[in-house]
Amino acid sequence: MVAIGFVMLAALLAIVILGPVIAPYSPSKTSPGSLAGPSAAHWLGTDSIGRDVLSRLIIGGRGTLLITVVAVAIALAAGLVLGLVSGYVGGRVDQAIMRVLDVVFAFPVFLLAIAVVAALGPTLQNLILTIAIVYTPTLARVVRGPVLSVKRWDHVEAARSVGVGEFAIAIRHVLPLVVSPILVQTSLTLANTIFTVTALSFLGLGPPPPDPNWGSMLAEARQFMELAPLTVIGPAAAIVFASLTFIVLANGLREMLDVGSR
């Protein structure tokens, strides 16, 4: 399971890194035939203004995945800090952090994302920031739970009794034990973020054109989909493949690391 996940991830990464090299055309280059079916020149056909669908998928994937990864990285960093501090320090600090996260958690993720992007304007930075904000509480909670139970364990007590500093304890003893649930949750969050990024783009709240993006491609293709179904299937399949990668990875990691046994 994990192996399949990593193979799929490698494929995704290859597309992201090698994108401009392997894409047959420039994503914005138009050719005479619009909404053409698959041909030797255009494997997946062309879109409504004659751009190569395959090239746009590849370059679009770059954009989609880049936003996803950066946003999740920020959310993960924030979640780690908040979760570790909250679980480790405990008391009033814990209460304060958790209550604030509860508030963010109360909003339907997608609604909050729309509202924030709509308020701040759909720029790349805002998009990344928004997604980082909405997914931070989930990750922080996943970190906090194990930290709470781990910090009272004997070997942590032992380290404390021989005078190891609190910060060193947190990094050396507590962090390694919370790694598996975090890996699994991060993987799931990546899948969710792909959904949120593409959904926002789908609604026109993604990164501004002309950069292609799977979500906006799907939205554009919708208008002509009965004439050229492939223009819809392409981005749809790409979105599914990317989410599936992270879901398979999460399931595999969960089995391998045995998080929550079932």
> Binding pattern to another protein, positions 43-82, x when CB under 8 A?
----------------------------------------
Question: Does 100 sit near another protein (CB under 8 A)?
Answer: yes
Closer residue to another protein, CB minimum distance, 36 or 117 = 117
Is there a contact between 131 and 67 (Cβ–Cβ < 8 Å)?
A: yes
**What is the chain's percent helix, strand, coil content, to nearest 5?**
75, 0, 25
For the beta carbon of residue 210, count every other beta carbon within 10 angstroms: 9
- Label residue 145 exposed, middle or buried (CB < 10 Å: 0-12, 13-18, 19+): middle
Tell me how far, at minimum, the Cβ of 162 lies from another protein, in Å.
40
Long-range contact set of residues 42-48: C-beta below 8 Å, sequence gap at least 24: 44/230, 44/231, 44/234, 45/228, 45/230, 45/231, 47/217, 47/220, 47/221, 47/228, 47/231, 48/220, 48/221, 48/223, 48/224, 48/228, 48/231
Question: Does 88 sit near another protein (CB under 8 A)?
Answer: no
CA-based nearest residue to 113, from 124, 95, 92, 129? 129
> Binding pattern to another protein, positions 134-173, x when CB under 8 A?
----------------------------------------
Number of shown-chain residues binding another protein (CB under 8 A): 42
The stretch near another protein (CB under 8 A) out of 43-51, 99-107, 138-146, 165-173 is: 99-107
Question: Does 103 sit near another protein (CB under 8 A)?
Answer: yes
Question: Does 226 sit near another protein (CB under 8 A)?
Answer: yes
Q: Quote the CA–CA distance of 186 and 46 in Å, as a whole number.
A: 35
What Å distances lie between residue 229 and 30, 53, 203, CA to CA? Answer: 19, 12, 20
Question: Does 93 sit near another protein (CB under 8 A)?
Answer: no
Binding to another protein (CB under 8 A) within 167-206 occurs at 191, 194-195, 198-199, 202-203
> Binding pattern to another protein, positions 107-126, x when CB under 8 A?
xxxxxx-xxx-xxxx-----
Residues forming contacts to another protein in the complex (CB under 8 A) are 99-100, 102-104, 106-112, 114-116, 118-121, 191, 194-195, 198-199, 202-203, 218, 222, 225-226, 229, 232, 236, 239-241, 243-244, 247-248, 251, 262
